[in-house]
Amino acid sequence: MCGIIGYVGSPTSDNTLEILTDGLSRLEYRGYDSTGVAISNSSLDVYKRRGELTELEDVLPDQSTNGSAGIGHTRWSTHGPPTDENAHPHTDCNETVAVVHNGIIENYQQLRETLEADGHEFDSETDTEIIPHLIEAALERDGDIERAFRYAITMLEGSYAVAAVFSGRDEVYAARNQSPLVVGIGDDGYFLASDIPAFLDYTEDVVYLENGQFAAIRSDSIQISDERGAPVETPVETVDWSTEDTGKSGHERYMLKEIYEQPRALRKCLQGRLRESDGSVSIEAVEDMEKPKQIHVVACGTSYHASLYAARLFRDRGVPSTAFMASEYDVDTIPIDTETLVVGVTQSGETADTLEALREANRVGAETLSVTNVTGSSASRETDRVVYIRAGPEIGVAATKTFAAQLVALAMISITLTNDSAATFVEALRTLPELVQSVLDRSRAKEIATEYADSDAYFFIGRGYNAPAALEGALKTKEITYKHAEGFSAGELKHGPLALVTDKTPVFAVIPRDGNFEKMVGNVKEVEAREAPVIAVTDAAEAVEPLADHVLRIPQTDRRLAPILANVQLQLVSYWIANELGRSIDKPRNLAKSVTVK
């Protein structure tokens, strides 16, 4: 969930500090509560502060230091609150090594007690601080930096991405286990980061580190090795993102930009996968698969809502399917065998709970498929097959365009796996980007959001394919407005939630003209009887307007794609409510973009 940046340039480099702080600024979207950098010269220069990057920049030297190797970090607190002392980098007693770390060290307390008994003194409450002290202890015994770093890593239990810089050395050492690290190969040096946007201004050529691998990065080379120290051949890949993709493109915030990028994201997701000749769909990664006996879809957060949608699609096409929260997926109690397909849906491809579920599925022999946005991510490398949603980089913490692309990718997978072309559905997919654009062009969400920004709470209801859209609408609202929001299947209104409905709790009802239309009308009347404002998201405005206080229109399409259009309206509602309330929309409090801890 934290962000790492590292850089090693030529011995005469004078822009190391600039590169590190620029990288940290590009990692802010991941979520953080403190920042820090360390630069190696004749000693170690370490600067770190609680709060946003601007707090760190206030204490940095006016002139660039002349060190050519450095590391930086944005921390999302796990062990210990956000304080200057708990911010990374952490150093040893002699300040000869500085370390940054993502993940959780499960045996840190035991290691800390042992180190304290040997005379080491600690300044923070973090699990990370044991790492530089382990390195220090190994250096006292041996004196070899690389062996000391390797020794420290072998002592760790848990998930980690670790980077270390040493006083007087123009090099960075790194290792990973279940937390991402990627090396960037530039013209004027080498980069290390937890995510590609950190160094995208400088290079598009990358090497992905695998679990258990070590990297020694110097100004003129990188050496990657396995746990035993044996060299590893790693392919260099070129990413297809640009710095323009990771900018705001004239929008005030990333989230708004990404909401408006959805037509483009869907076109990229569909490109080359819809066959003009016969109106069918081809997802190359799965087209040679036989129809599975059953499908389990595992995910977290927004991706879990996409999984609920996918499971219904698969069931409607004749394959028994269930969506599971990845953190609750237990292969020892859930029926699973070699004829089960386990689909992991994860935007980043690094979501810890989803990766653990996929690994457990691999362990028991099930076939695994990842649906992700990030080429080279852990999920893409650790599953039997991978389908990329091609949404492009998403910087805002609250997922928007990736959710829409996930739904479309999963819809195409369902067609391919079941060999059910359904030409009318394929045609609806083809026109979907245009329909999304029409929603964006005509939405009244801002006007409605202004009217209801001071509400006590918000409720979102839907049925069938639209129930996941209701859940997602509520999640977006609570993520960025910090107000209570709840989404549920509309049929559950009378089983408890109606007790909370008042004239201060607007209800957003996703009510397209489908087989559940009349039932949804009944649910809306239940709400009306309690004097709650009703905002209907519908393609049947004329029929619904007499029942609702406001209508957010969506164009008609295949009933299975209506929730994608409805979701665009709900994204805009949540955005404009948060804007009205003055919230930190791109970086909501306590949240992170890539959740790499369990």
Give the catalytic positions in this structure: 2, 593
- The single residue listed with the structure tokens 């994608």 is 564
CA angle, 453 then 457 then 461, to 5°: 105
Q: Which of 257, 568, 344 is nearest to 437 (CA)?
A: 568
Alpha carbons 180 and 551: distance in angstroms, whole number: 44
Report CA 208 to chain centroid distance, whole Å: 17
In sequence order, the 6+-apart residues with CB closer than 8 A to the CB of 385 are: 285, 286, 289, 367, 368, 369, 370
Q: Dmax of the chain from CA atoms?
A: 80
What whole-number distance in Å separates Cα of residue 27 and Cα of residue 500?
Answer: 39
**Integer Cα distance of 71 and 61 in angstroms:** 16
For 141, the enclosing helix (H) or strand (E) is: helix 130-141
- How far, in Å, CA of 436 to CA of 408, rounded? 12
CA pair distance 395, 413, nearest whole angstrom: 26
Residue 474 is encoded by which pair of tokens? Answer: 């509520």
Identify which of 208, 163, 151, 166 has the alpha carbon closest to the alpha carbon of residue 183: 208
User: Are 391 and 401 spatial neighbours (Cβ–Cβ below 8 Å)?
Assistant: yes
Quick one: which H or E segment has residue 30? none
The alpha carbon dihedral of 215, 217, 223, 229 has a sign of negative
DSSP conformation class of 231: B
Token code pair at residue 267: 């076109």
**Three-class SS of residue 313?**
helix
Helix (H) or strand (E) holding 566: helix 562-581
Three-state DSSP at 482 gives: coil
Give the contacts of 548 (CB within 8 A, at least 6 positions apart): 509, 524, 534, 535, 536
Instruction: Classify 387 as helix, strand or coil.
Output: strand
Under 8 Å between Cβ of 371 and 356? no
Q: Beta 34-40 vs 44-50: how paired, if at all?
A: antiparallel
Give the total residue count for the chain.
598
- The residue behind tokens 């060299």 is 231
Burial label for 240, CB within 10 Å (0-12, 13-18, 19+), is exposed
Report the C-alpha dihedral over residues 471, 476, 477, 481, rounded to 10 degrees.
160
